[in-house]
Amino acid sequence: MPRTLTEKIIAAHLVSGEMTPGDAIALRIDQTLTQDATGTMAYLQFEAIGLDRVQAELSVSYVDHNTLQTGFENADDHRYLQSVAAKHGVYFSRPGNGICHQVHLERFGVPGKTLLGSDSHTPTGGGIGMLSIGAGGLDVAAAMAGEPFHLNMPQVIGVRLTGKLTGWASAKDVILELLRRLSVKGGVGKVFEYFGPGVGTLSVPERATITNMGAELGATSSVFPSDDVTRGFLTAQQRPDDWSELLADEGARYAEVIELDLSAIVPMVAQPHMPDEVVPVTELEGLAVDQVCIGSCTNSSLKDLMTVAAILRGRTVHERTSLVISPGSRQVEEMIARNGALADLLAAGARVLEPACGPCIGMGQSPPSGGVSVRTFNRNFIGRSGTADAGIYLTSPEIAAAVAIFGEFIDPSGRIELPSIELPPVFAVDDSMIIAPTQDASGVEVVRGPNIQPLPIRGELPESFEATVLLKVGDNITTDDIMPAGAKILPLRSNIPAISQFVFAGIDPEFASRAEATQPGIVLGGGNYGQGSSREHAALAPMHLGIQAVLAESFARIHKANLVNFGILPLEIAPEGYAALEQGAVLRFEGVRGAVASGQPIPATVLETGATIALTCDLSEREREIVLAGGRLNHIRARHAQ
């Protein structure tokens, strides 16, 4: 039977389960990546598993998030990450070498391989035909230990591309158009596979932009075929032997096919405060802009920055607008320095930052109070920029450059000539900032600074308990809402007691103290609870605060898995049950372990009224075992002890 490309990769890596959409499957993982905001905890978890060396084919530790060193904490984490990588057989990409997804695409990604990363934008690797999936750090630690990755078999949605991008339309507009059509919930439980004659018109960086922001659809992953364009990219990276052709079989059937004519795509903008609030740029013309930020793992490739430099050449950034640019990798930074593009950026008035995530993760460059910031990033959640009342707009590098020149939103068609960019056939390759693991690590000492605290572990799930609804929130709560990032909070990622004080801080500053005083607790949410970043701290810190269960109308995939991994019950509640409960309600749970073990609904009694609310515990058999054990580390240890 003909198969899609996604199905072919899954079939080649299937450890258990049937490839029926919705059924539980387990995949062998070839490669893993971590970044420093999630990596410190992931390696503490790997150490807790007790293996000497990683078991995956390739594991890479990147430092790209917490590079702003305002105290000792980040530097200490980097030192720990470098030493633990050397100890356990992990490649280490040093601070300044670039953003994990950009560097992995350039230097390590291989078509047809599986990649699991502790960052939600890991699907960037789908731009070269990998099946790349974001997950929580504990899942990645388990994959490094040789454990398979468990998920439900996704539906494979075909996106048939025809035509060719014209004018100022870009790859960013392709994914913004899909977000406009499908919403941030539209990809849950799905892989988006691109095919059709339009695919060959897109470069690998353009494909990677699309797969990167597929995460904003809630998708498990996104993937392009590996074709002659892919071969050209890997040849330019001086890795031609890593290429192989990978295509869907002729006649492959998709669960659904979305038709997208690239020639009909127009420049788009995602308005505050969600990536799916998308309109054509023409609807925003004249809106004054205070800041423009170009970069992030979505749009910081050599092609992106050379295009921006060519648009800015001979022009000056508007007097009311600040322009900052973050190259995606040291390779990109070096190449624009050598070909003159960097000089054009500086001459135009751009402020060039180091190759890192920077403003995208809230590490500096917060816009002014009430300001308008135009960014080529992937997320514009409220407060993520570091300024709660700022309006964050997402668009392409081309439109962002034009906005920087005029100081306001414009449709540049007919006003600026769009430059044509030709990339060199061979890229500069210098891997000196990537430290390969030593074969003999017997003399390597793992260095731990004072901010690195022991990993908290939860006990087994109790048979019965009473818990208070400590907070009621609405739909589309993000992991940024649950566990904020930014320059003040990110340095505490390896100190769970300290970082837990900021849980839900942007929504309710008293949440942490209330949770500590009222244990166990419950959080009540609406639909798509936990969307956004893969940050497992959004489960780990609430666990530390005594959260026993989260009741929500529906959950985002990665966050639900993280709740399970840390022994927090993810329980689905019907809309009428959600409406009937308020903050402060106390619920009594009886027979919990038996209900979880058998997959039966869990009744909860509201003590004040005596009403019973039925809650669904929609978990696989394996996930039920993990929750009963109090989390995945307990589950792994118990199996290894047998």
74-108 confidence digits (pLDDT tens): 889 999 999 999 999 999 999 999 999 999 999 99
Average pLDDT (168-190) is: 96
Cβ–Cβ < 8 Å for 235, 203: no
Of 297, 344, 351, the C-alpha closest to 323 is: 351
Can you give the pLDDT at residue 133? 97
Q: How far apart are CA 194 and CA 211, in angstroms?
A: 9
Can you give the pLDDT at residue 532? 82
Q: How far apart are CA 103 and CA 93, in angstroms?
A: 9
pLDDT in tens, 98-142: 999 999 999 999 999 999 999 999 999 999 999 999 998 899 999
| Coil/strand/helix, residue 329 | strand
Q: What is the largest CA-CA distance in the chain?
A: 73
Can you give the pLDDT at residue 382? 87
Q: How far apart are CA 205 and CA 40, in angstroms?
A: 29
pLDDT at 296 over 80: yes
pTM of the model: 0.90
Can you give the pLDDT at residue 488? 83
Q: How far apart are CA 558 and CA 570, in angstroms?
A: 12
Average pLDDT (602-624) is: 93
Q: Where are the beta strands (DSSP E) in 464-579?
A: 465-472, 521-525, 547-552, 569-573
The catalytic residue positions are 64-65, 119, 379, 533, 535
Q: How far apart are CA 466 and CA 604, in angstroms?
A: 9
Kindly list the distances between the CA atom of residue 491 and the CA atoms of 95, 140, 487, 494, 537, in Å, as whole numbers in the listed order.
15, 21, 7, 8, 13
pLDDT at 29 over 70: yes
Give the phi and the psi of residue 313 in degrees, each rounded to 5. -55, 125
Q: How far apart are CA 632 and CA 626, in angstroms?
A: 5
Residues 6+ apart with CB under 8 A from 429: 237, 238, 331
Give the phi and the psi of residue 159 in degrees, each rounded to 5. -115, 105
Give the phi and the psi of residue 593 in degrees, each rounded to 5. -60, -45
pLDDT in tens, 493-529: 889 999 999 999 999 999 999 999 999 999 999 999 9
Q: How confident is the model at residue 642 (pLDDT cuts 50, 70, 90)?
A: low
Tokens describing residue 553? 């109308």
Can you give the pLDDT at residue 640? 62
Give the phi and the psi of residue 283 in degrees, each rounded to 5. -75, -10
pLDDT at 489 over 90: no
Can you give the pLDDT at residue 606? 95
Q: How far apart are CA 8 and CA 156, in angstroms?
A: 11
Of 190, 33, 27, the C-alpha closest to 107 is: 33
pLDDT at 201 over 80: yes
Of 202, 174, 193, the C-alpha closest to 249 is: 193
Domains and CATH numbers, the chain: 5-264 (3.30.499.10), 269-406 (3.30.499.10), 465-641 (3.20.19.10)
pLDDT in tens, 345-375: 999 999 999 999 888 888 888 899 999 999 9
